[in-house]
A and B are shown apart, each in its own frame.
Chain A
Protein backbone atom coordinates (compact mmCIF):
# COMPACT_ATOMS: atom_id res chain seq x y z
CA UNK A 1 0.00 0.00 0.00
CA UNK A 2 1.29 3.44 -0.96
CA UNK A 3 1.83 5.76 1.98
CA UNK A 4 0.50 9.22 1.30
CA UNK A 5 2.59 12.27 2.12
CA UNK A 6 0.68 14.50 4.56
CA UNK A 7 -0.62 17.68 2.94
CA UNK A 8 1.58 20.14 4.93
CA UNK A 9 4.71 18.17 3.93
CA UNK A 10 3.57 18.01 0.32
CA UNK A 11 2.95 21.77 0.15
CA UNK A 12 6.41 22.52 1.53
CA UNK A 13 8.00 20.04 -0.90
CA UNK A 14 6.03 21.45 -3.84
CA UNK A 15 7.04 25.01 -3.02
CA UNK A 16 10.69 24.19 -2.46
CA UNK A 17 10.89 22.23 -5.71
CA UNK A 18 9.12 25.02 -7.59
CA UNK A 19 11.56 27.63 -6.29
CA UNK A 20 14.80 25.66 -6.22
CA UNK A 21 14.16 22.91 -8.77
CA UNK A 22 13.28 22.83 -12.43
CA UNK A 23 9.85 24.36 -11.83
CA UNK A 24 6.63 22.73 -12.96
CA UNK A 25 7.95 19.19 -13.49
CA UNK A 26 9.65 19.09 -10.09
CA UNK A 27 6.58 20.45 -8.39
CA UNK A 28 4.40 17.73 -9.88
CA UNK A 29 6.95 15.13 -8.84
CA UNK A 30 6.86 16.48 -5.29
CA UNK A 31 3.06 16.19 -5.29
CA UNK A 32 3.16 12.61 -6.59
CA UNK A 33 2.44 10.85 -3.28
CA UNK A 34 0.38 13.68 -1.87
CA UNK A 35 -3.40 13.83 -1.50
CA UNK A 36 -5.18 14.98 -4.67
CA UNK A 37 -6.03 18.21 -2.88
CA UNK A 38 -2.36 19.23 -3.05
CA UNK A 39 -2.60 19.96 -6.77
CA UNK A 40 -5.45 22.43 -6.18
CA UNK A 41 -2.80 24.67 -4.58
CA UNK A 42 -0.53 24.44 -7.63
CA UNK A 43 -1.88 27.44 -9.61
CA UNK A 44 -1.62 29.63 -6.54
CA UNK A 45 1.94 28.46 -5.84
CA UNK A 46 2.90 29.23 -9.45
CA UNK A 47 1.31 32.66 -9.08
CA UNK A 48 3.19 33.28 -5.83
CA UNK A 49 6.51 32.30 -7.43
CA UNK A 50 5.84 34.83 -10.19
CA UNK A 51 4.45 37.57 -7.95
CA UNK A 52 7.49 37.41 -5.70
CA UNK A 53 10.28 37.14 -8.23
CA UNK A 54 13.32 38.68 -6.50
CA UNK A 55 14.24 42.20 -7.56
CA UNK A 56 17.69 43.72 -7.88
CA UNK A 57 18.57 46.80 -5.82
CA UNK A 58 20.39 49.50 -7.77
CA UNK A 59 24.16 49.13 -8.05
CA UNK A 60 24.63 52.77 -6.96
CA UNK A 61 22.64 52.17 -3.81
CA UNK A 62 24.59 49.05 -2.86
CA UNK A 63 27.94 50.73 -3.55
CA UNK A 64 27.04 53.93 -1.66
CA UNK A 65 25.68 52.06 1.35
CA UNK A 66 28.76 49.86 1.56
CA UNK A 67 31.00 52.91 1.37
CA UNK A 68 28.93 54.55 4.12
CA UNK A 69 29.25 51.48 6.34
CA UNK A 70 32.97 51.01 5.72
CA UNK A 71 34.09 54.63 5.98
CA UNK A 72 31.46 56.04 8.30
CA UNK A 73 30.82 58.85 5.81
CA UNK A 74 27.18 59.68 5.31
CA UNK A 75 25.56 59.37 1.94
CA UNK A 76 25.50 62.61 -0.11
CA UNK A 77 22.56 64.95 0.42
CA UNK A 78 21.21 64.44 -3.11
CA UNK A 79 21.02 60.69 -2.51
CA UNK A 80 19.07 61.17 0.72
CA UNK A 81 16.86 63.77 -0.96
CA UNK A 82 16.05 61.23 -3.67
CA UNK A 83 14.73 58.95 -0.93
CA UNK A 84 12.86 61.56 1.09
CA UNK A 85 11.28 63.72 -1.64
CA UNK A 86 9.08 61.04 -3.25
CA UNK A 87 7.59 60.29 0.16
CA UNK A 88 6.09 63.74 0.56
CA UNK A 89 2.36 63.55 0.02
CA UNK A 90 0.91 65.64 -2.87
CA UNK A 91 -1.05 67.68 -0.31
CA UNK A 92 2.26 68.61 1.31
CA UNK A 93 3.60 69.80 -2.02
CA UNK A 94 0.39 71.79 -2.60
CA UNK A 95 0.73 73.53 0.78
CA UNK A 96 4.41 74.25 0.23
CA UNK A 97 3.66 75.66 -3.24
CA UNK A 98 0.81 77.78 -1.86
CA UNK A 99 2.96 79.23 0.91
CA UNK A 100 5.81 79.94 -1.49
CA UNK A 101 3.47 81.76 -3.92
CA UNK A 102 1.92 83.75 -1.08
CA UNK A 103 5.36 84.72 0.20
CA UNK A 104 6.48 85.91 -3.23
CA UNK A 105 3.20 87.84 -3.70
CA UNK A 106 3.66 89.61 -0.34
CA UNK A 107 7.23 90.56 -1.21
CA UNK A 108 6.10 91.97 -4.57
CA UNK A 109 3.27 93.94 -2.92
CA UNK A 110 5.66 95.32 -0.36
CA UNK A 111 8.07 96.38 -3.07
CA UNK A 112 5.28 98.05 -5.08
CA UNK A 113 4.02 99.77 -1.93
CA UNK A 114 7.53 101.03 -1.26
CA UNK A 115 7.85 102.47 -4.77
CA UNK A 116 4.50 104.30 -4.53
CA UNK A 117 5.28 105.64 -1.09
CA UNK A 118 8.59 107.03 -2.31
CA UNK A 119 6.89 108.65 -5.32
CA UNK A 120 4.13 110.29 -3.22
CA UNK A 121 6.48 111.70 -0.59
CA UNK A 122 6.46 115.55 -0.61
CA UNK A 123 9.58 116.87 -2.24
CA UNK A 124 11.63 119.24 -0.16
CA UNK A 125 11.05 122.80 -1.18
CA UNK A 126 14.15 124.31 -2.66
CA UNK A 127 15.69 127.23 -0.78
CA UNK A 128 15.02 130.45 -2.45
Chain B
Protein backbone atom coordinates (compact mmCIF):
# COMPACT_ATOMS: atom_id res chain seq x y z
CA UNK B 1 0.00 0.00 0.00
CA UNK B 2 1.41 3.31 -0.94
CA UNK B 3 1.41 5.94 1.75
CA UNK B 4 1.98 8.72 -0.75
CA UNK B 5 -0.85 9.86 -2.89
CA UNK B 6 0.31 9.94 -6.46
CA UNK B 7 -0.78 12.88 -8.56
CA UNK B 8 -1.34 11.97 -12.20
CA UNK B 9 1.39 13.23 -14.49
CA UNK B 10 0.08 16.09 -16.64
CA UNK B 11 -0.33 15.08 -20.26
CA UNK B 12 1.66 17.01 -22.84
CA UNK B 13 -1.16 17.89 -25.22
CA UNK B 14 1.19 18.85 -28.03
CA UNK B 15 2.29 15.22 -28.40
CA UNK B 16 -1.24 13.89 -28.86
CA UNK B 17 -2.88 13.19 -32.19
CA UNK B 18 -5.96 15.08 -33.34
CA UNK B 19 -8.14 12.02 -32.66
CA UNK B 20 -6.85 11.73 -29.08
CA UNK B 21 -7.36 15.44 -28.49
CA UNK B 22 -10.91 15.27 -29.84
CA UNK B 23 -11.69 12.45 -27.38
CA UNK B 24 -10.26 14.50 -24.51
CA UNK B 25 -11.93 17.71 -25.68
CA UNK B 26 -15.36 16.21 -24.99
CA UNK B 27 -14.66 16.60 -21.28
CA UNK B 28 -11.67 18.91 -21.08
CA UNK B 29 -11.49 22.36 -22.58
CA UNK B 30 -7.68 22.39 -22.53
CA UNK B 31 -7.63 19.72 -25.22
CA UNK B 32 -9.83 21.85 -27.44
CA UNK B 33 -7.41 24.71 -26.78
CA UNK B 34 -4.62 22.63 -28.30
CA UNK B 35 -6.75 21.84 -31.36
CA UNK B 36 -7.47 25.57 -31.62
CA UNK B 37 -3.75 26.36 -31.58
CA UNK B 38 -3.15 23.82 -34.34
CA UNK B 39 -5.78 25.09 -36.72
CA UNK B 40 -6.65 28.71 -35.99
CA UNK B 41 -4.18 30.17 -38.51
CA UNK B 42 -5.18 27.77 -41.27
CA UNK B 43 -8.89 28.40 -40.79
CA UNK B 44 -8.31 32.15 -40.59
CA UNK B 45 -6.36 32.05 -43.87
CA UNK B 46 -9.00 29.97 -45.59
CA UNK B 47 -11.77 32.35 -44.52
CA UNK B 48 -9.67 35.45 -45.19
CA UNK B 49 -9.07 34.55 -48.82
CA UNK B 50 -12.71 33.53 -49.28
CA UNK B 51 -14.05 36.83 -47.91
CA UNK B 52 -11.20 39.22 -48.68
CA UNK B 53 -11.81 41.05 -45.41
CA UNK B 54 -9.74 40.69 -42.24
CA UNK B 55 -12.68 41.76 -40.06
CA UNK B 56 -15.04 39.20 -41.56
CA UNK B 57 -12.28 36.61 -41.40
CA UNK B 58 -11.93 37.20 -37.65
CA UNK B 59 -15.66 37.06 -37.13
CA UNK B 60 -16.11 33.87 -39.15
CA UNK B 61 -13.06 32.19 -37.60
CA UNK B 62 -14.53 32.88 -34.18
CA UNK B 63 -17.83 31.35 -35.30
CA UNK B 64 -16.09 28.27 -36.73
CA UNK B 65 -14.36 27.48 -33.44
CA UNK B 66 -17.37 28.34 -31.31
CA UNK B 67 -19.49 25.98 -33.38
CA UNK B 68 -16.83 23.27 -33.37
CA UNK B 69 -16.52 23.44 -29.60
CA UNK B 70 -20.28 23.33 -29.14
CA UNK B 71 -20.62 20.28 -31.37
CA UNK B 72 -17.43 18.40 -30.56
CA UNK B 73 -19.50 15.82 -28.67
CA UNK B 74 -21.39 14.96 -31.84
CA UNK B 75 -18.28 14.60 -33.98
CA UNK B 76 -17.34 11.04 -34.83
CA UNK B 77 -14.29 10.11 -36.87
CA UNK B 78 -15.95 7.94 -39.51
CA UNK B 79 -13.15 8.39 -41.99
CA UNK B 80 -13.51 12.15 -41.69
CA UNK B 81 -10.49 13.62 -39.91
CA UNK B 82 -11.05 16.48 -37.46
CA UNK B 83 -9.24 18.87 -39.81
CA UNK B 84 -11.68 18.07 -42.62
CA UNK B 85 -14.65 18.51 -40.25
CA UNK B 86 -13.36 21.93 -39.21
CA UNK B 87 -12.87 23.02 -42.82
CA UNK B 88 -16.38 21.90 -43.66
CA UNK B 89 -17.74 24.12 -40.90
CA UNK B 90 -15.62 26.98 -42.24
CA UNK B 91 -16.83 26.31 -45.77
CA UNK B 92 -20.50 26.27 -44.75
CA UNK B 93 -20.23 29.47 -42.73
CA UNK B 94 -18.39 31.21 -45.56
CA UNK B 95 -21.00 30.06 -48.06
CA UNK B 96 -23.72 31.50 -45.79
CA UNK B 97 -21.73 34.71 -45.51
CA UNK B 98 -21.62 35.03 -49.30
CA UNK B 99 -25.35 34.37 -49.46
CA UNK B 100 -26.03 37.03 -46.82
CA UNK B 101 -23.86 39.52 -48.63
CA UNK B 102 -26.03 38.89 -51.67
CA UNK B 103 -23.44 40.39 -53.87
CA UNK B 104 -19.96 39.73 -55.04
CA UNK B 105 -17.48 42.37 -55.85
CA UNK B 106 -17.33 42.36 -59.63
CA UNK B 107 -14.19 43.82 -61.05
CA UNK B 108 -14.47 44.88 -64.70
CA UNK B 109 -12.19 42.69 -66.75
CA UNK B 110 -11.06 45.55 -68.95
CA UNK B 111 -9.43 47.10 -65.90
CA UNK B 112 -7.02 44.25 -65.83
CA UNK B 113 -6.24 43.50 -69.42
CA UNK B 114 -2.72 42.20 -69.42
CA UNK B 115 -0.86 39.36 -71.02
CA UNK B 116 2.00 39.13 -68.57
CA UNK B 117 0.55 36.31 -66.53
CA UNK B 118 0.74 34.00 -69.47
CA UNK B 119 4.34 34.51 -70.45
CA UNK B 120 7.03 32.06 -69.46
CA UNK B 121 10.23 34.10 -69.41
CA UNK B 122 11.44 35.73 -66.18
CA UNK B 123 10.42 39.11 -67.63
CA UNK B 124 6.87 37.87 -67.64
CA UNK B 125 6.75 36.74 -64.04
CA UNK B 126 3.86 38.13 -62.07
CA UNK B 127 5.44 41.24 -60.61
CA UNK B 128 3.15 43.60 -58.88
CA UNK B 129 0.18 43.56 -56.62
CA UNK B 130 -2.19 44.71 -59.35
CA UNK B 131 -1.51 41.58 -61.36
CA UNK B 132 -1.86 39.38 -58.31
CA UNK B 133 -5.21 41.04 -57.63
CA UNK B 134 -6.22 40.28 -61.22
CA UNK B 135 -5.44 36.66 -60.58
CA UNK B 136 -7.44 36.67 -57.33
CA UNK B 137 -10.32 38.33 -59.15
CA UNK B 138 -10.25 35.58 -61.79
CA UNK B 139 -10.28 32.96 -59.04
CA UNK B 140 -13.28 34.68 -57.41
CA UNK B 141 -15.19 34.24 -60.66
CA UNK B 142 -14.69 30.47 -60.60
CA UNK B 143 -17.45 28.18 -59.27
CA UNK B 144 -17.36 27.83 -55.49
CA UNK B 145 -15.96 24.27 -55.36
CA UNK B 146 -13.06 25.28 -57.59
CA UNK B 147 -12.28 28.31 -55.44
CA UNK B 148 -12.34 26.07 -52.39
CA UNK B 149 -9.95 23.62 -54.02
CA UNK B 150 -7.45 26.32 -55.00
CA UNK B 151 -7.45 27.87 -51.53
CA UNK B 152 -6.99 24.53 -49.80
CA UNK B 153 -4.11 23.83 -52.17
CA UNK B 154 -2.29 27.14 -52.18
CA UNK B 155 -3.17 28.75 -48.85
CA UNK B 156 -3.30 25.69 -46.65
CA UNK B 157 -0.90 23.55 -48.66
CA UNK B 158 -3.05 20.43 -48.32
CA UNK B 159 -2.54 17.26 -50.34
CA UNK B 160 -5.16 15.94 -52.75
CA UNK B 161 -6.08 13.24 -50.21
CA UNK B 162 -6.67 15.80 -47.45
CA UNK B 163 -8.67 18.01 -49.81
CA UNK B 164 -10.67 14.94 -50.85
CA UNK B 165 -11.66 14.38 -47.21
CA UNK B 166 -12.87 17.96 -46.91
CA UNK B 167 -14.72 18.07 -50.21
CA UNK B 168 -16.02 14.52 -49.95
CA UNK B 169 -14.34 13.37 -53.17
CA UNK B 170 -11.72 10.78 -54.05
CA UNK B 171 -8.09 11.73 -54.55
CA UNK B 172 -8.44 11.01 -58.28
CA UNK B 173 -11.48 13.24 -58.55
CA UNK B 174 -9.59 16.08 -56.84
CA UNK B 175 -6.64 15.65 -59.20
CA UNK B 176 -8.94 15.80 -62.19
CA UNK B 177 -10.87 18.77 -60.80
CA UNK B 178 -7.60 20.57 -60.12
CA UNK B 179 -6.50 20.05 -63.73
CA UNK B 180 -9.83 21.35 -65.06
CA UNK B 181 -9.72 24.30 -62.69
CA UNK B 182 -6.23 25.36 -63.75
CA UNK B 183 -7.17 24.99 -67.41
CA UNK B 184 -10.30 27.12 -66.93
CA UNK B 185 -8.29 29.74 -65.07
CA UNK B 186 -5.58 29.77 -67.73
CA UNK B 187 -8.18 30.13 -70.47
CA UNK B 188 -9.84 32.98 -68.61
CA UNK B 189 -6.54 34.78 -68.19
CA UNK B 190 -5.71 34.22 -71.85
CA UNK B 191 -9.17 35.55 -72.69
CA UNK B 192 -8.50 38.68 -70.67
CA UNK B 193 -5.12 39.10 -72.28
CA UNK B 194 -6.52 38.77 -75.79
CA UNK B 195 -9.33 41.19 -75.01
CA UNK B 196 -12.26 38.82 -74.85
CA UNK B 197 -15.41 40.18 -73.33
CA UNK B 198 -16.41 39.27 -69.79
CA UNK B 199 -19.19 37.05 -71.12
CA UNK B 200 -16.87 35.11 -73.39
CA UNK B 201 -14.47 34.48 -70.55
CA UNK B 202 -17.30 33.22 -68.36
CA UNK B 203 -18.64 30.99 -71.13
CA UNK B 204 -15.21 29.39 -71.49
CA UNK B 205 -15.04 28.83 -67.77
CA UNK B 206 -18.17 26.71 -67.86
**Which chain A positions have C-beta within 8 A of B150?**
48, 52
Tell me, in angstroms, the Cα distance from A3 to B49 when the chains sit together: 38
A-B contact count (CB 8 A): 122
Contact A70 B41 (CB under 8 A): no
Tell me if A51 and B176 are in contact (CB < 8 A): no
Chain A residues contacting B160 (CB-CB under 8 Å) are: 12
- Chain B neighbourhood of A44, CB < 8 A: 117-118, 135, 182, 185-186, 189
Cβ contact within 8 Å between A41 and B157: no
Cβ–Cβ < 8 Å partners of A82 in chain B: 55
CB distance from A49 to the nearest CB of B (A): 6
Of chain A, the residue at the smallest CB distance from B151 is A52
Q: A-facing mask of B81-119, CB < 8 A → 1, else 0?
A: 000000000000000000000000000000000000111
B4 at the interface (CB under 8 A from A): no
B112 CB, min distance to chain A CBs, angstroms: 13
Does B36 reach chain A (CB closer than 8 Å)?
Answer: yes
Among B10-18, B120-128, B195-203, the stretch in contact with A: B120-128
- Contact string, A36-56, partner B, CB cutoff 8 A, digits 1/0? 000111111111111110111
B153 to chain A, nearest CB (A): 6
Does A86 make an interface contact (CB < 8 A)?
Answer: yes
Q: Give me the interface of A with B, judged by CB distance under 8 Å.
A: 7-9, 11-12, 15-16, 19-20, 39-52, 54-58, 61-62, 65-66, 68-70, 75, 82-83, 86-87
